[in-house]
Structure 1
Amino acid sequence: MTSILINTINMQTLWITAEEALALLGTKPQTLYANVSRGRIRAKPDPADPRRSLYQLVDVKRMAERHSGRRQAKEVAAEAIRWGDPVLPTGISAITNQRLFYRGQDVVVLAEQHTLEQVAGILWNIDDGGIKIPAGGENGGPRVAAALVALASRVMTDLPALGRHPAALRSEAADVLATVASALVPSSQVLPLHERLAHGWQRPEAAEPIRKALVLAAEHELNVSAFAARVTASSGAALSAATLSGLATLTGPRHGGAWMSVTALVEKAATIGAREAIRSTLSSLGLVRAFGHGHRLYPDGDPRAKAIMESFEAPAIYAELAKVGEDLLGEPINIDFALAALADSFRLPDDAPLVIFALARTVGWLAHAMEQVESGQMIRPRARYDGIVA
């Protein structure tokens, strides 16, 4: 019955009414509202009637499939790694009520004044505040490639993380961050990292927006790069190895490279207009987040994106794309959109969004790596074989 109902709904619809959601779920309204409050189903006000709500179709479908019958344990486990229920305990960050917290502190509030170095102190549980990053590095060559090489050169000589005192790990984490910073932000001066970036790019006026972006992008729960870092750390490998895993994962177009689709959309919009650019680009539901709109964990809008966009005046085309995109897709902009707008606004290098993201997220990867090591657990899920049986 559920599959028949799903087929009657236009699959290009991103948001459905409560009546449609209840028909798919086959439950009482109270159950629908409970799933919304627990973050399992995203909801937003109906633009046509703010007294009513609309519900994200993909979330409702997932819950309908979950409750269509008692699923086997293997099915539950498989779903857990695809935006499913939480699978790992952490004291690093939390996303609740569409807000992001670093060890209990609202990241938007932290971004008002904190630097990335101070946030590292918070995420790494350093009592005496932040850390200091020495000057270093040489100019020339792609920055992210240089960071990958620099980390790889440490992996076989750094000590394994397993069995070492937390204080020693934190000291090494600062050194690993310095290695990444020297590759991404080479400087002969000892400056806060946001100032090093602005100075290196010869855009001193961009220092404050960059500072905010670094803080807001430093950590985001169990995203794919953080998970990769934790898996590596769980083997006992060096912190540099865990960071290398995170950085390699970040380079994927569905993670750290998502901003590139935003810049491509901007170029297209400059030629044919924002509305037509989005219409012609949108060919499936899966493309919604590929050009900077929507986030599963923030149905009402990514608070990180909002905070970044408020720190500078973006070109008019970005404001138009943000509005038209939300009108057409029902999804506000996300952090990928904001980083692309930041880079364009201050005429930063083409890879600036990835450099900012990589430098910031290194702090989060190291926090996850150290927490995983201290847990003493190895991450080793089982695979469900679905190949040919002889």
Structure 2
Amino acid sequence: MKNPRDPLYLTARQAAGELSVSPATLYAYVSRGLIRSEPAESSRERRYRAEDVRALKGRRSMPAAQRSDVEQQAIETAVSTIDDGGQIYRGVRAVPLAAEASLEQAATLLWDVSGIDPFEPGNLPVMDQAMRAVMDACAQADPLPRAIATLALATSADGQAFNRSAEGRARIGARIVRLVTTAILGTPASADPVHVQIARQWAEGERQAESLIRRALVLLADHEFNPSTYTLRCAVSTGLSLYDATVAGLVALKGPKHGGAALLAAQFVGVLAVAEGDLEQVVRTHVTLGEQIPGFGHKVYRSSDPRADDLLAALVRAGADRRLAVEAPALISDATGLFPNIDYALAVMARTLGLPPGAEIALFAIARTAGWIAHGAEQLASGKLIRPAARYVGLHAGRTGRHPE
């Protein structure tokens, strides 16, 4: 940075200091578009627009009487955060947790419940005749649209959909996780662990697949305020049920810049898998042509994605193709400076286990439902309506509020 005292920009340390947040939270604000950043001219660091930092600071420090029951963009949460080591679920690091825990255990941690087991065998999804008819009619549809259609009817079928107690919401959450799993897999509702259901329905080599799928689900369970989670919190802040809010999350997840990126990564892994000869030549061709390489780079992590590192290492131990799990990522990182993200790791896992096309985003949806429930319940408990503050950049309006003629 030529002038470290440039009044237009702040360093990462200065920006985080003004906001009294961690660097990880600063990067999350950038990823959500709240603060603009750009590369510094003479170093590898980035610089941050001072006006954005101070505008955000002003909104966060707005008097309580002025805020009323409307929450601004900087939303406090106790559910999770992110740093260079990956996600932290209520104080517990997700990567070590994924070594042994199931999605159900990660969900219970995220939901901050104790004394009850929301995933007890008898707590199965409530499915009425209309929901079953939709499931049957959507049998040949893609998994996510089938889940969206099914959940759209779930609020009216579940008489406890608006239970306000912490335990009640946790039980609703467990029913939603199981319902999303059932709808995506196209199987009857089951109390079996989610990873067991997925491996049984989709995987080749079921027993080996269970551990890898279980690990991936825990790594995917939450990622702070990503687009689908923020969308869900906005939706649930209007007073929707957790079922309806989950529909909002699923719809946002489909976007190619979010969960849909996993499908692009799967296509790229398919190209690598059938490439004959030297992988380096395949990578060089993509880089030379200026093509974006799906599954590499991440807006939150400055270097590698810890989730991808962990899952790819587990795949290597399980005997996955090293060309996909080790050699290709190394070549691409050397050529581009980008590291594999969780989308690439998911695509390698899906190919290794012989999962059906589209399984990557389906796994994403099942796992992320656990985090959505945590954020949805937290937002409902706050009682606040999310209404982000706008920064108007259009033509100046006249006194009447209309644009000048």
TM-score bracket for this pair, using the shorter chain length: 0.7 to 0.9
1:272-313 residue CA offsets vs partner (Å, 9 max, x unmatched) = 843234315635xxx46xx11122322231111111112223
Conserved? CA contact 1:161–1:237, under 8 Å = no
1:335 to 320, 342, 361: 342
Q: What does residue 241 of structure 1 align with? A: 244
**What is the CA-CA distance between 1:87 and the residue it aligns to?**
1.1
Conserved? CA contact 1:147–1:183, under 8 Å = yes
**Bigger shift: 344-353 or 295-304?**
295-304
Letter of the 1:112 partner, please give it: A
Note closer, same or farther for the CA distance 1:262–1:296 as it changes in structure 2 (3 Å cut).
same
**What is the CA-CA distance between 1:163 and the residue it aligns to?**
8.0
1:65-85 residue CA offsets vs partner (Å, 9 max, x unmatched) = 614x798738987xxxxxxx9
Q: What does residue 73 of structure 1 align with? A: 55
Q: What does residue 153 of structure 1 align with? A: 153
Alpha-carbon distance between aligned partners in 2 of 1:200 and 1:70, rounded to the nearest angstrom: 48
Alpha-carbon distance between aligned partners in 2 of 1:150 and 1:41, rounded to the nearest angstrom: 36
2:97 to 89, 103, 110: 110
Q: What does residue 378 of structure 2 align with? A: 371
**What is the CA-CA distance between 1:95 and the residue it aligns to?**
1.0
Alpha-carbon distance between aligned partners in 2 of 1:119 and 1:72, rounded to the nearest angstrom: 36
**What is the CA-CA distance between 1:159 and the residue it aligns to?**
6.9
**What is the CA-CA distance between 1:155 and the residue it aligns to?**
4.2
**What is the CA-CA distance between 1:346 and the residue it aligns to?**
1.3
Conserved? CA contact 1:185–1:197, under 8 Å = yes
Q: What does residue 317 of structure 1 align with? A: 323
Q: What does residue 174 of structure 1 align with? A: 174
Structure 2 residue 266 is matched with structure 1 residue 279? no
- Does the residue aligned with 2:268 lie in a helix, a strand or coil? helix
Note closer, same or farther for the CA distance 1:35–1:232 as it changes in structure 2 (3 Å cut).
closer
Alpha-carbon distance between aligned partners in 2 of 1:91 and 1:74, rounded to the nearest angstrom: 20
Q: What does residue 10 of structure 1 align with? A: none
- Does the residue aligned with 1:312 lie in a helix, a strand or coil? helix
**What is the CA-CA distance between 1:92 and the residue it aligns to?**
0.6
Letter of the 1:224 partner, please give it: P
Note closer, same or farther for the CA distance 1:59–1:211 as it changes in structure 2 (3 Å cut).
farther
* Unaligned ranges ≥5, structure 2: 17-21, 29-36, 60-71, 396-402
**What is the CA-CA distance between 1:58 and the residue it aligns to?**
3.3
**What is the CA-CA distance between 1:96 and the residue it aligns to?**
2.6
Q: What does residue 80 of structure 2 align with? A: 93
Q: What does residue 192 of structure 2 align with? A: 191
**What is the CA-CA distance between 1:365 and the residue it aligns to?**
0.6
Alpha-carbon distance between aligned partners in 2 of 1:360 and 1:244, rounded to the nearest angstrom: 14
Q: What does residue 211 of structure 1 align with? A: 214
Note closer, same or farther for the CA distance 1:159–1:59 as it changes in structure 2 (3 Å cut).
farther
Alpha-carbon distance between aligned partners in 2 of 1:35 and 1:155, rounded to the nearest angstrom: 43
Conserved? CA contact 1:98–1:300, under 8 Å = no
Q: Percent identity?
A: 30
- Does the residue aligned with 1:164 lie in a helix, a strand or coil? coil
1:253 to 251, 256, 272: 256
Note closer, same or farther for the CA distance 1:24–1:268 as it changes in structure 2 (3 Å cut).
farther
* Unaligned ranges ≥5, structure 1: 1-21, 43-56, 78-84
Alpha-carbon distance between aligned partners in 2 of 1:196 and 1:265, rounded to the nearest angstrom: 27
Q: Number of residue pairs matched?
A: 341
Conserved? CA contact 2:304–2:339, under 8 Å = yes
**What is the CA-CA distance between 1:152 and the residue it aligns to?**
1.0
Conserved? CA contact 2:119–2:171, under 8 Å = no
Alpha-carbon distance between aligned partners in 1 of 2:379 and 2:57, rounded to the nearest angstrom: 26
Structure 2 residue 43 is matched with structure 1 residue 58? no
- Does the residue aligned with 1:94 lie in a helix, a strand or coil? strand
Alpha-carbon distance between aligned partners in 2 of 1:171 and 1:184, rounded to the nearest angstrom: 20
Note closer, same or farther for the CA distance 1:186–1:254 as it changes in structure 2 (3 Å cut).
same
Alpha-carbon distance between aligned partners in 1 of 2:378 and 2:179, rounded to the nearest angstrom: 21
Conserved? CA contact 2:161–2:172, under 8 Å = no
Alpha-carbon distance between aligned partners in 2 of 1:143 and 1:153, rounded to the nearest angstrom: 16
**What is the CA-CA distance between 1:105 and the residue it aligns to?**
0.5
Q: What does residue 65 of structure 2 align with? A: none
**Bigger shift: 261-270 or 299-308?**
261-270
**What is the CA-CA distance between 1:33 and the residue it aligns to?**
6.1
Letter of the 2:194 partner, please give it: L
Note closer, same or farther for the CA distance 1:24–1:147 as it changes in structure 2 (3 Å cut).
farther
- Does the residue aligned with 1:282 lie in a helix, a strand or coil? coil
TM-score normalised according to structure 2 size: 0.74
Q: What does residue 299 of structure 2 align with? A: 296
Conserved? CA contact 1:257–1:354, under 8 Å = yes
Structure 2 residue 139 is matched with structure 1 residue 131? no
Note closer, same or farther for the CA distance 1:233–1:336 as it changes in structure 2 (3 Å cut).
same
**What is the CA-CA distance between 1:34 and the residue it aligns to?**
6.2
Alpha-carbon distance between aligned partners in 1 of 2:339 and 2:199, rounded to the nearest angstrom: 28
Alpha-carbon distance between aligned partners in 1 of 2:368 and 2:219, rounded to the nearest angstrom: 9
1:199-252 residue CA offsets vs partner (Å, 9 max, x unmatched) = 001420211100000000000000000001100110011111110000000011
Alpha-carbon distance between aligned partners in 2 of 1:177 and 1:102, rounded to the nearest angstrom: 18
Conserved? CA contact 1:25–1:60, under 8 Å = no
Conserved? CA contact 1:123–1:367, under 8 Å = yes
Conserved? CA contact 1:217–1:357, under 8 Å = yes
Alpha-carbon distance between aligned partners in 1 of 2:285 and 2:84, rounded to the nearest angstrom: 32
Note closer, same or farther for the CA distance 1:367–1:259 as it changes in structure 2 (3 Å cut).
same
1:356-378 residue CA offsets vs partner (Å, 9 max, x unmatched) = 10000001111110000001111
Alpha-carbon distance between aligned partners in 2 of 1:89 and 1:246, rounded to the nearest angstrom: 19
1:310-329 residue CA offsets vs partner (Å, 9 max, x unmatched) = 22233243233211221122
